[in-house]
Structure 1
Amino acid sequence: MPVIDAWIQHPTPRHSDHEMFDSLRRWTGREPLTDPLPVAATVAALDAADVQIGLTTAWYGPQGPLISNDEVAEFVAQSDGRLRGVAGADLTRPVQAVRELRRAVTELGFVALRLLPWLWELPPTDRRYYPLYAACVDLGVPFCTQVGHTGPLRPSETGRPIPYIDQVALDFPELTIVCGHLGYPWTTEMIAVADKHANVYIDTSAYTARRYPAEFVDYLRGRGRRKVLFGSNYPMIMPVKALEHLDDLGLDDEARELFLAGNARRVFAL
């Protein structure tokens, strides 16, 4: 069955080797990336898990881009159609950020915007996000973000689904919001917000199938089958590793197809 991975990043050394990822390297045993990684290596990692398309993201933070939109566009160009771009933006310059998002979507062909609140230490309800939310609605692309605690060494508070994602969805009911990383340890809150708002979704990036909380597996099997997208968070977790225990989840054929590809294809208009 073909797979779409809703959250990967083709890393640059300045992204992969940043000090805030020391904790992740400790957990995963990954070595620093001293030289640029060939795009072919990322495509090979997708192939190993039957991933047809990986949504590869730019990373923008207060000190500048760790992976720029133009770098992502170059990775996409080298991928033979296997990667799609997800834009980043500088929250401290809202007008320029909106212009950059428009360029990424209309000129570079990107399919979404992703901002990481913990990287900025600004919750998603901060006024600096709001021009970008309006631009996403206008451009017809989803806003992607991270919920739950942070593995990197930054505060986790900005990842709470309630009140932050709930309030943004109330303020922008037309905005499609894709919340990565399950929301753990606030998974029940995340499920409640996805139930409440028609345009709020969850992706499973940063978690292997065997680590999904029990209430999340129940949601994925049942009423949440149209609300959950597969994501790996490659290269932190290889897609094949993220899916290793997929069969243990007890998904029927419809839930499995929606989770692995159907929901992402619909949400990102792929």
Structure 2
Amino acid sequence: MVDFSKVRAIDFHTHAEEPCGCHADDGYDDLQSAMAKYFGAPWSHPPTIPQTAAHFREQNIAAVIFPVDAERETGYRRYRNEEVAELAAEHADILIPFASIDPHKGKMGAREARRLVAEYGVQGFKFHPTMQGFFPNDRLAWPLYEAIAETGKPALFHTGQTGVGSGMRGGNGMRLKYSNPMYIDDVAVDFPDMPIILAHPSFPWQEEALAVATHKPNVYIDLSGWSPKYFPEILIRYANTLLKDKMLFGSDWPMISPGKWLDAFDKAPFRDEVRPLILKENAMRLLGVAA
């Protein structure tokens, strides 16, 4: 278990990547290379889970880590949730496992979600509407949401445009429309007791995200995928005031390193009393761990 009293922060948004070259024929390496170029990431191949754990341990930062199950829509082979959870368990001092299930799997996906929590200690679930090709308020996802709500674990949704497929021919076939955070408002209404996190500054729908998070008590925002030096003024204003208890630190590793994000955060105009809330305290409350 992570000793939350000792880590300096909780990164709520890191990606699990398979060993480089494992599935070179399905196009995923091309997507990763394009994203690394977009973000200016320094690596030639994405880090593995053990490499990720080593980096975050060195930084003394706990990390929520997850794969993205988008095999049906993209053709990229699925990184098995069980394998991610098992590897995270080997580094349980620093990694917090989330899972990802394509909502098109319906009742089969719901069964998997319950099993992952019960048998593998999964602490939450990641959705990527753009990569998974679905609107978050499509009723096809309701069986999976119902299962997640039963477990009491949070659901984290990618929102906005954060570089996935950017610059690739046809945007790599990825449609931005799915990631408008306003669609998640319907989910928050029908599942009011399921914690929901809107991932990233939701460009170009920042005000929609702020509206949903302000209006719905169970909706949070993680600040991953952008350097804080590029945050819009309205996002910082809400983080400093109305939403100070609902903002979470996230880097979007391995595209953005936690150290790089934190350096920019130090220079951004966040209030001193708000910084510890964003860096750790809000995440601890959301994960249900004692301060």
Q: 1:94 to 1:213 in 2, by over 3 A?
A: same
- Match for 1:25 among 27, 36, 40? 36
Question: Using the alignment, how far apart are the partners of 1:80 and 1:122 within structure 2?
Answer: 32
1:55 to 56, 64, 72: 64
* Distance in 1 (alpha carbons) for counterparts of 2:164 and 2:269: 32
Distance (whole Å) between structure 2 residues aligned to residue 49 and residue 222 of structure 1: 29
1:123 touches 1:159 (CA, 8 Å); kept in 2? yes
1:186-233: per-residue Cα shift (whole Å, max 9, x none)? Answer: 111111110010000100111122121111111111111111100011
Partner Cα distance (1:210, 1:220) in 2: 14
After superposition, the CA RMSD in angstroms is 2.1
State the one-letter code of the partner of 1:177.
Answer: I
Aligned residue among 13, 29, 41 for 1:7: 13
The corresponding residue for 2:175 is: 155
Matched, 1:72 2:84: yes
Amino acid at match of 1:103: R
TM-score computed with the length of structure 2 as normaliser: 0.84
Per the TM alignment, residue 64 of structure 1 is displaced from its structure 2 partner at its CA by 6.3
Q: Specify which of 268, 273, 289 is matched with residue 254 of structure 1.
A: 273
The structural deviation recorded for 1:30 is 4.7
Q: Which amino acid aligns with 2:184?
A: I
* Residue aligning to 2:3: none
Deviates most, 191-200 or 86-95: 86-95
User: Per-residue displacement from partner, 1:14-73 (whole Å, max 9, x unpaired)?
Assistant: 499433334312222555528x7361x21232245431x201002211146532211211
Shift of residue 95, structure 1, vs aligned partner: 1.4
What is the rounded CA distance, in whole Å, between the counterparts of 2:105 and 2:123 in structure 1? 22
How many residue pairs were aligned? 266
Q: Match for residue 46 of structure 1?
A: 56
**Which runs of no fewer than 5 residues in structure 1 stay unpaired?**
none
Between stretches 206-215 and 58-67, larger displacement belongs to 58-67
Give, in angstroms, the shift of residue 268 of structure 1: 1.8
Distance 2:214 2:184 in 1: 12
- What is the CA–CA distance in structure 2 between the aligned matches of 1:102 and 1:172, rounded to whole Å? 17
Distance apart, 1:129 and its partner CA: 1.1
3-state SS of the aligned residue for 1:93? helix
Give the 3-state SS of the residue equivalent to 1:5 in structure 2: strand
Matches within 5 A, 1:1-270: 2-12=8-18, 13=20, 14=23, 17-27=28-38, 28-33=40-45, 37=48, 39=50, 41-51=51-61, 53-61=62-70, 62=72, 63=75, 65-153=77-165, 154-162=174-182, 164-270=183-289
1:161 offset after TM fit, Å?
1.4
